[in-house]
């Protein structure tokens, strides 16, 4: 019998406005939002009705060990609404004792009273989307908050953690934003370290189609860091955080001992999870299913889920299945890497096919082992830090080419 997913992601799509780099499924509601009463409240309340229906539509429920409320900007919601959401899971799925319950919060979208309200509702880990401490960089990225908002939020979270009110918190930054050169990036890192967040996520800027940044790049109106400048920033990140006691346990994530994101490790390990909300993705038994990104389409889909039937990928299936290339890609993001021999043995191929596939992949990876981007220790392959992790795309592209050839 299959193990039912023990993790759930919940998407809250509302934002004050769309940032210039963002291509997520979000609904901008303007600067003056009051989620219970006032501007935007009816839109939020209607969405939550459909979200609740979707959560209740799952037939095969097991107690959850991780819940992640992401967005968008979940901290636009009132603590009462977050409390209702957590109680919905508690009453209909169950929540394990000691479960990790994370919520993304955005500077300038909550105050200290809200924070304690979220904690009372059951949130025990927060992820603060700071992106930068530099006002000019924040403005260039289309962010609504300023440096003071970030510092206030960090101080509140640090105090809550020191008082034992939460298990952990994470500070999120974006590396290589426009005008964030070596000096600016060093200042951002040093300001971050003043607050000693137990977990830090450093995301590289990706210019995605349909974003303001992409339009500006195409018009020649946006200057981005070149590869050498980006690599210098990355080297600084690695050395400074390592010297401060952080372990780089995944390409974009650093933590003190005991503070890795349990929820995100579910993704990287290729384990099953539920996803709820507009634009979210579920993968309870290997097959991925993404909900509609447009609000009216999402609501129509939820209605069909409740009145007709669940999508097949959300029904309990007889075997857990995930493409080998995806298992390798996700596993290679982690510090411990992968046991490629074990992964191939799990494919139920005959011995001859397994051996041929393995030898072809090892041939592809020879040059990366020689250059030191990839390291082999026994049966495990993992990326070197920082060079391998920063240039991981080269290794993954060679793996995808291998996968296409053997298929």
Query: Which H or E run includes 375?
Result: strand 374-377
Q: Is pLDDT at 302 greater than 50 in this prediction?
A: yes
pLDDT score of 1: 34
Is 294 inside a domain boundary?
A: no
Q: What is the mean pLDDT of residues 118-129?
A: 98
**Which tokens hold the place of 282?**
């579920």
Out of 252, 268, 284, pick the residue that ends a domain. Answer: 268
DSSP secondary structure, 189-241, as one string? HHHHHHT--SEEEEEEP---TTSHHHHHHHTT------HHHHHHHHHHHHHHH
**CA nearest neighbour of 302 among 74, 57, 64:** 57
Same domain for 18 and 152:
yes
Is 242 inside a domain boundary?
A: yes
- What CATH number is given to the structural domain containing 387? 1.10.10
pLDDT score of 322: 60
Is 273 inside a domain boundary?
A: no
Same domain for 355 and 210:
no
Tell me which residue range forms the domain holding 263: 7-268
Same domain for 232 and 358:
no
Same domain for 341 and 263:
no
Same domain for 257 and 112:
yes
Is 279 inside a domain boundary?
A: no
Same domain for 217 and 128:
yes
Is 304 inside a domain boundary?
A: no
Same domain for 152 and 62:
yes
* Domain count across the chain: 2
Is 286 inside a domain boundary?
A: no
Only one residue has tokens 């919905």, namely: 88
Q: What is the rounded average pLDDT for all residues in the chain? A: 92
Predicted confidence band of residue 241 (pLDDT cuts 50, 70, 90): very high
Same domain for 243 and 381:
no
- Which 8-state DSSP code applies to residue 314? G
**CA nearest neighbour of 317 among 9, 7, 59, 39:** 59
**C-alpha–C-alpha distance, residues 299 and 47, integer Å:** 8
Is 278 inside a domain boundary?
A: no
Same domain for 335 and 244:
no
Q: Is pLDDT at 61 greater than 60 in this prediction?
A: yes
Q: What is the mean pLDDT of residues 92-103?
A: 96
Q: Is pLDDT at 189 greater than 70 in this prediction?
A: yes
pLDDT score of 314: 75
- Quick check: 190 and 217 in contact, CB under 8 A? no
pLDDT per residue over 330-340, tens digit each?
999 999 999 99
pLDDT score of 30: 87
Is 72 inside a domain boundary?
A: yes
pLDDT score of 264: 94
- What CATH number is given to the structural domain containing 173? 3.20.20.70
């Amino acid at each position: 019998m299959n193990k039912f997913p023990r993790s759930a992601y919940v998407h809250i799509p509302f934002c004050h406005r769309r940032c210039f780099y963002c291509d997520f499924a979000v609904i901008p509601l303007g600067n003056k939002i009051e989620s219970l009463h006032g501007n935007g409240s009816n839109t939020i309340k209607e969405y939550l009705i459909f979200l609740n229906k979707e959560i209740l539509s799952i037939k095969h429920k097991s107690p959850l060990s991780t819940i992640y409320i992401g967005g968008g900007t979940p901290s636009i919601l009132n603590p009462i609404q977050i409390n209702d959401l957590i109680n919905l899971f508690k009453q209909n799925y169950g929540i394990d004792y000691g479960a990790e319950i994370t919520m993304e919060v955005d500077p300038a979208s909550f105050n200290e009273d809200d924070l304690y309200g979220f904690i009372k509702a059951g949130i025990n880990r927060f992820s603060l989307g700071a992106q930068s401490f530099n006002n000019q960089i924040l403005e260039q990225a289309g962010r609504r908050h300023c440096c003071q908002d970030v510092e206030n939020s960090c101080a509140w979270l640090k105090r809550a953690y020191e008082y034992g009110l939460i298990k952990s918190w994470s500070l999120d930054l974006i590396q290589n934003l426009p005008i964030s050169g070596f000096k600016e990036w060093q200042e951002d890192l040093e300001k971050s370290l003043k607050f000693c967040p137990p977990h830090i996520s450093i995301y590289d800027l990706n210019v995605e189609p349909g974003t303001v940044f992409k339009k500006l790049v195409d018009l020649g109106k946006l200057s981005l860091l070149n590869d050498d400048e980006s690599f210098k920033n990355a080297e600084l990140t690695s050395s400074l955080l390592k010297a401060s006691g952080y372990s780089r346990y995944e390409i974009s994530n650093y933590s003190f001992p005991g503070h890795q994101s349990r929820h995100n490790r579910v993704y990287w390990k290729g384990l099953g999870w539920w996803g709820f909300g507009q634009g979210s993705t579920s993968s309870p038994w290997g097959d991925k299913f993404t909900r509609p990104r447009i609000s009216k389409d999402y609501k129509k889909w939820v209605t069909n889920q409740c009145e007709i039937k669940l999508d097949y990928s959300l029904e309990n299936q007889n075997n857990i299945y995930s493409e080998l290339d995806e298992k390798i890609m996700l596993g290679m993001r982690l510090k411990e890497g992968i046991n490629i021999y074990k992964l191939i043995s799990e494919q139920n191929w005959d011995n001859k096919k397994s051996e041929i596939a393995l030898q072809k992949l090892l041939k592809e990876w020879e040059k990366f082992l020689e250059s030191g981007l990839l390291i082999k220790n026994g049966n495990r392959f993992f990326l070197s830090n920082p060079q391998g992790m920063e240039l991981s795309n080269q290794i993954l592209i060679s793996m995808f080419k291998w996968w296409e050839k053997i298929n």
